[in-house]
Amino acid sequence: MNSLTLHWHDAGQDKTQQIYEQQFSKNPGTVRLGRDPFKCDIVLTHPTVSGLHVEIFFYPQKHCFCIRNLRPTNPPIVDNQPLNQTEIILKEGSIIYLGQQQIKITKIIINSIPPTIITPPQSPRVNYQLPSTPPVQPQPVYALECPKCHKISSAENLQIGCPWCGTSLAAAMSVLVVPNN
């Protein structure tokens, strides 16, 4: 049976969860991750995780597990890249960030992979010169959107409340803020 194993640290405990190809879930065909226990199969408690953040599913035509972003304003980061597209293939060793919650893919088992013939493309050889120092990319940060005034504030304000209107941020949505270049 095709399976994927997740490992993370939440609420002071190490947790491991296996996801199977045709696992029973709240949304058949996928396993959803987030903070909302009514919508998610795997519930995470970190305040920067959205209520319904991502779903992981087995893609039988490609014989792989994929992750799909369900929160465009707070996209997951997979292997240091924001998941701005709809979905990507997961691989063993991948690191996923949902907000500031880190999840690692520790094992993937795929059975019955049909044989495929791969023909390399016939293209001219091109020599590329890489820059000596890669450009520094600004790192995205996570913040909370006030449910009342919709202003964005630092995650440190979770216990204090919205600095503009005083509303509790306990039910606030987490958002990914990408700095301007």
Q: What DSSP line would sit under 20-39, residue for residue?
A: ETT---SSTT-EEEES-TTT
Domain assignment of residue 38, yes or no: yes
State which amino acid sits at residue 130.
L
Give yes or no: residues 100 and 161 share one domain. Answer: no
The terminus-to-terminus CA distance of the chain in angstroms comes to 46
pLDDT digits (tens, 9 = 90+) for 76-107: 999 999 898 778 999 999 999 999 999 999 99
Q: How many structural domains does the chain have?
A: 2
Question: What number of H helices and E strands is found in the chain?
Answer: 0, 14
Averaged pLDDT, 51-74:
91
Give yes or no: residues 161 and 90 share one domain. Answer: no
Residue 114 has pLDDT above 60, yes or no: no
Domain assignment of residue 58, yes or no: yes
Burial of 136 (0-12, 13-18, 19+ CB in 10 A): exposed
Domain that holds residue 157: 141-177
Residue 136 — left, alpha, or beta (φ > 0 → left; ψ -120 to 50 → alpha)? beta
Give yes or no: residues 158 and 97 share one domain. Answer: no
Residue 29: which CATH number? Answer: 2.60.200.20
* Number of neighbouring beta carbons within 10 Å of residue 164: 12
Is-contact 11 18, C-beta < 8 A? no
The strand pairing partners of 88, in sequence order, are: 67
Give yes or no: residues 13 and 78 share one domain. Answer: yes
Q: Which has the minimum average pLDDT: 37-41, 45-49, 77-81, 139-143?
A: 139-143
| 155 band by pLDDT with thresholds 50, 70 and 90 | confident
Domain assignment of residue 52, yes or no: yes
Domain assignment of residue 39, yes or no: yes
User: If you count them, how many residues does the chain have?
Assistant: 181
Give yes or no: residues 66 and 149 share one domain. Answer: no
Domain assignment of residue 132, yes or no: no
Domain assignment of residue 167, yes or no: yes
Q: What is the mean pLDDT of the chain?
A: 83
Give yes or no: residues 102 and 147 share one domain. Answer: no
Give yes or no: residues 13 and 93 share one domain. Answer: yes
Domain boundary among 66, 86, 109: 109
Give yes or no: residues 52 and 104 share one domain. Answer: yes
Among the ranges 60-64, 99-103, 146-150, which has the highest mean pLDDT value?
99-103
Give yes or no: residues 105 and 145 share one domain. Answer: no
